Amino acid sequence: MQPAYIFDLDGTLVDTAPDLLSATNAVLHQAGRPAIEPDGLRAMVGMGARALILKAFAATGEPLAETDLAPHFERFLTYYRAHIAAQSRPFPGVEATLKTLRGQARLGVLTNKPQGLADVLLRELGLEHYFHAIHGAGRLDVTKPDPRVFHHVMEELGEAAAPAIMIGDSATDVATARAAGVPVILVDYGYTQTPAQELGADAVISDFRRVPPLAAALLG
């Protein structure tokens, strides 16, 4: 039975902040709001596009009521889908590590990015073939940190009872792993307002290439 490695996407595998920033600022511009700077955006990513838009509006003026979110969300999706891989790139060491792991483990992606966008991004960057399962928002009626999404990925991997580990960048990923009863590694270069070292992960890394030996140690 191969172990399962479940990866977050934005801020863990891929630096998507530049294109998310462009889409967010396009929405803010149409609403007459000031733009957000890159450093400000990185602390807003992680809970999906709807949460990102709400945070962006709250940071630039009067908060947006959730009942008024729909047109801004659709505008965001339209812009982002058209520019999804314009500047987004895998973080250093990611592809080499995935190549190493591909024959040693079952690999999955678990993200709060909408399923269609996750599929397009991974395909555009030539990463999708590394993964045996890709789970984005919309496939179930819950998202991370609900453990049901983690277990759904495990079922799709065909390794529901296999040793598993979560690799992410945020408190959401730690909460997901804890709820699912698995260890978690965080990267320290991702999208989180609170430093990764303070989020209670089993290990924190600066170099993605450390994932295989650390995961092997944590899985025993």
Nearest Cα neighbor of 73 from 26, 135, 124 is 26
Cβ pair 77, 117 in contact under 8 A: yes
Cα 166 from Cα 98, distance rounded (Å): 14
Cβ pair 69, 53 in contact under 8 A: yes
Cα 52 from Cα 43, distance rounded (Å): 9
Burial class (CB in 10 A: 0-12, 13-18, 19+), 217: exposed
Cite the active site residues.
8
CB atoms within 10 A of CB 138: 15
Cβ pair 69, 95 in contact under 8 A: no
Structure tokens at 186: 């965080």
Cβ pair 114, 50 in contact under 8 A: no
Cβ pair 97, 208 in contact under 8 A: yes
CA within 13 Å, CB half, 123: 8
Cα 139 from Cα 47, distance rounded (Å): 15
